[in-house]
Structure 1
Amino acid sequence: MAFDKNLDRELFSETASFETTRIKVGVYSYNDGEKKLQISRENMSQDGQWSFAKLGRMFKDEAEAVMPMIEKALKHM
């Protein structure tokens, strides 16, 4: 079965913005299935456009901003 964006529900999301990157913490449910936590990163290109990037490693300030968002997200799971 192919992924259908219409079946993917966002139940919670919050974003922390930094100088050239932002990190989003969200809770999603696909086709009314089990709720899952997703953490994603977007980087700003030189022309000011946001593009998806692998989360990878985080700086301490990023981790400190993300931890409270994860705690909030867990309450929606």
Structure 2
Amino acid sequence: MPYDKNLDKELFAETVEFETTKVKVSVMCYNEGMKKLQLSRENLNPNSGEYSFSKLGRMTKEEVEKVLPIMQKAIEQM
């Protein structure tokens, strides 16, 4: 069965903004299945001033310190 965006539900989402990047913590549920935590990053393009999706990859200590409390809130929604 191919992926259907209409079956993907965002149950919780909160974003932390930093100087040149944003990290989003969300709880997703696909087709009424298991709730899952998702972390995603968007980096600021200095030329256009717009954010674009990027791999989360490694996080700085500052990022982790700000994202962890949001992850705890997300866990309560799971």
Query: TM-score band (shorter)?
Result: over 0.9
Indicate the percent of aligned positions where both proteins have the same amino acid.
58
Unaligned runs of 5+ in 1: none
Question: How well do the aligned residues superpose, as a CA RMSD in angstroms?
Answer: 0.6
* Matching residue of 2:55: 54
Match in the other structure for 2:36: 36
| Pairing 1:1-77 to 2, within 5 Å after superposition | 1-46=1-46, 47-77=48-78
Which segments of 5 or more consecutive residues in structure 2 lack a partner in the other structure?
Answer: none
Q: Which runs of 4+ in 1 moved over 4 A?
A: none
Counterparts of 1:7 and 1:64 in 2: how far apart (Å)? 32
Separation in 2 of the partners of 1:28 and 1:53? 19
TM-score by length of 1: 0.97
- Cα distance in 1 between the residues matched to 2:67 and 2:33: 25
